[in-house]
Structure 1
Amino acid sequence: MIKLLVVEDERNLCDFLGGFFKKQNYEVYTAYNGEDALKLIKNSRPHLVFLDIGLPGMSGMDVLARIREFDNTIKVIMVTGVQDKQKIEEATKLGASDYVTKPFTFDYLQNVALGKVHAQLFGDLRREVQEKELLYKEIEKKADELQKAYGKLAQTAVQALYALAKALEARDPYTHGHSESVTRYATWIGEKLRGKQGWENVTLDAGKILRNGGLLHDLGKIGIVDGILNKPGKLTEEEWAQVKEHPGKGAHILEGVDEFKEYALVARYHHERWDGKGYPDGLKGKKIPNGARVLAVADAYDAMTSDRPYRKAGTPIEAAKELLKCKGTQFDPEPVDAFIIALKEHNILTEEDVKKLEE
């Protein structure tokens, strides 16, 4: 509520003014002299003071000067009994906002004095609102400019990471096209699981995560030397330890771009196992994010059906048998079953192949 202080030595008039302003829904304080007025101002901090110039003792001018020293944001309307231009000018120089003359009639209070009070109290508020509106527009303009700049920067980061993923595959002729293949298979699995119980979050947005997570899931291998990455024989324990670091390294790279934070989860956990014996964190069962469980199946299938330095590619049915053999241990059973159906629908497995798998 807006606070208003009436300072008037004529008690009847002071009380009358106090009652009048209370009816206008102001929180009203009254004082009959300057000393009491200053105490009320310090304790209650009114928004506006209705101040008589001709106070006994400490004059209205002295009170005005003290108010300005204490808080120059308080509005002060001077009350004068005569049209004394010199005093009015002096009060204005001291910081008075306006003045009214007495004796008061009710009409004068209603139509003139109250209007001046409202003008002082709400004029600043209007200006503040207008200034804030201008500020908000300027902020919106700057935010729009920043958003556009951020968009360009983010797009550059996105392009750089995709280029990095391509550069990684170019280092290893055996994995050329691996990310695209994994992405395609993961998307097929996601389409079959969408809407099933426990897979409600596999939405179109999740499809985007699977696609981009698939393309970037092996990004952490950029830190593995070619001699290990392309080694034709069995890896040593030390070399295998380095390879096992790639999910965490890839996630760390992806987390640096806001748009890729969800993809980082897929990258980090795509080598976790359903039975909890995977890496890097040994997550088990449904504690592994859905996208990573899907990608694990797609990644393993593509690895088994692609040439590697240490072996030739297996056939689709051989890879499918291995997936079925490992479901419930290495893989979540649901993505495996969904993938077998998808492979048949995409004519990679025949009806006869599926029957053999079921035997």
Structure 2
Amino acid sequence: MLSEKFVELFKSAFGFDPVCSGSEPTCIFQEGQKIYVKYQGRVVAEFEDDERDYGAILHYYAQKTGIITPLDKRVEELLRGLFANIIVLTEVEDRNGFSHSQRVAKIAEAFARYLGWSEERCEELRNHALLHDVGKIAIEQLMLYSPTRLREFEQHYEDHPIMGTIYLSIHETLWKYIPTVRSHHERWDGKGFPDGLKGEEIPLYARIIAIINYYDEVTNFVSADWDSELKTPEEALAEIEKLAGSWFDPELAQKFVKFMREEFLKTNG
């Protein structure tokens, strides 16, 4: 049984009694001189019943329940937010005030829900999508001081996945985004860049974002890489169907086209 002192501190911190009835995903209980924290049915930490450690126990409990986030997660959120803000500032806004990366992130999150993913995983894909073009910051800096800005962009366009990798290497909390950033221009047939990955060698998130990235670019930007004029959403989807199996993961491309036609375009016109 937990000491009265600990129970009092716990109630003061969280506003309820520390109980371990079996229905809570995270709970605290005591056996002998040990205080245990149980998470999802198993013991994940044990502490001596020492008043000097009560603060540490409460802090650990708060982290496991998500009441406060671990330092590394806060650092990741800070750095990710910083990069995302810079990316959006360097991109051209559409008539609704959204940039390329914001649009890709919005579609990616909605597509993940369509695939039946958990909310946590949907948010994770959205964060990967927001950062997919982080390497273009370097190209923008290069162009800023160049008298031939478009030529510089054309010459260095294929460098941006590698530059993004370099940016994200600054802190280990951002390393999980590197495979997506580096590989979102790889192709299913192995003819993409920078590493020539093929098929399922390409990370899943990168395969998804490759499709959405293409869709957003051809419907919002005139580019010599794609066509001399903007495509309509339906034209873009028809082109994705043609490129499935060469540029894009055929299964994901099929699901994306169905999602866009049946759900996203109907509600986001």
User: TM-score range with shorter-chain normalisation?
Assistant: 0.5 to 0.7
CA RMSD, Structure 1 to Structure 2 (Å): 3.8
Give the letter for the 1:277 counterpart.
Answer: K
Query: What residue number does 1:165 align with?
Result: 87
The answer to whether 1:336 aligns with 2:258 is no
Measured in 1, the distance between the counterparts of 2:155 and 2:55 equals 50
**Residues 182, 298 of structure 1: 8 Å contact kept:** yes
In structure 1, what is the Cα distance between the partners aligned to 2:74 and 2:109? Answer: 28
Go from structure 1 to structure 2 and tell me whether the alpha carbon gap of 1:168 and 1:307 turns closer, same or farther (over 3 Å shift): same
Inter-partner Cα distance in structure 2 for 1:340 and 1:151: 34
Correspondence list, 1:128-147, <5 A: 137=53, 140=56
Q: Summarize the Cα distance change of 1:189–1:153 in structure 2 as closer, same or farther, 3 Å threshold.
A: closer
- Quickly say closer, same or farther: Cα 1:209–1:260, change in 2 above 3 A: farther
Q: TM-score when scaled to structure 1? A: 0.49
The one-letter code of the counterpart of 1:345 is: E
Work out which of the residue numbers 155, 160, 173 in structure 2 matches 1:246: 160
- Residue 314 of structure 1 corresponds to which residue in structure 2? 231
Task: State yes or no: 1:345 paired with 2:262.
Answer: yes
Q: Which residue of 1 aligns with 2:128?
A: 213
Deviation, 1:250, is 1.5
Cα deviation, residue 309, structure 1: 6.4
> Cα gap change, 1:309/1:282 in structure 2, threshold over 3 Å: closer, same or farther?
closer
Is 2:72–2:173's contact at 8 Å kept on the other side of the alignment? no
Deviation at 1:257, TM superposition (A): 4.0
Select which of 202, 207, 212 maps to 1:293. Answer: 207
Query: Does the CA contact (< 8 Å) of 1:209 and 1:262 recur in 2?
Result: no
Determine if contact 1:189/1:342 at 8 Å carries over to the other structure: yes
User: What's the CA shift for 1:247?
Assistant: 1.2
**Partners of 1:292 and 1:136 in 2: CA distance:** 48
Larger Rg: 1
Which residue is equivalent to 1:222? 137
The question of 1:256 aligning with 2:178 is answered no
| Count of residues in correspondence between the two structures | 208
CA distance in 2, matches of 1:209, 1:275: 27
Letter in 1 for 2:56: E
Q: Distance in 1 between matches of 2:74 and 2:120?
A: 22
Residues 108 and 209 in structure 2, CA contact (< 8 A), matched pair in contact too: yes
Paired letter, 1:208: E
Q: What do the CA deviations read for 1:179-206 (whole angstroms, capped 9, x no partner)? A: 1211122233333444xxxxxxx54433
Look up the SS of the partner of 2:257 in the other structure: helix
Counterparts of residues 20-169 of structure 1 (less than 5 Å):
137=53, 140=56, 152-169=74-91
SS at match of 1:346: helix
Mapped to 1, the partners of 2:159 and 2:55 lie a distance apart of 44
From the superposition, tell whether residues 189 and 217 of structure 1 become closer, same or farther in structure 2 (CA, over 3 Å).
same
- The 8 Å contact of residues 228 and 239 in structure 1, kept in 2 or not, is answered as yes
| Alpha-carbon distance between aligned partners in 1 of 2:245 and 2:205, rounded to the nearest angstrom | 17
Match of residue 181 from structure 1 = 103
Tell me the residue number matched to 1:122. none
Q: 1:345 to 1:245 in 2, by over 3 A?
A: same
Aligned to 1:304: 218
The runs of 5 or more residues in structure 1 that have no matched partner are 1-131, 195-201, 350-359
Identify the residue that residue 324 of structure 1 maps to in structure 2.
241
TM-score, length of structure 2 as denominator length: 0.63
What secondary structure sits across from 2:220 in the alignment? coil
Aligned equivalents of 2:108, 2:76: Cα separation in 1: 25
- Tell me, in whole angstroms, the C-alpha distance in 2 between the residues paired with 1:267 and 1:329: 20
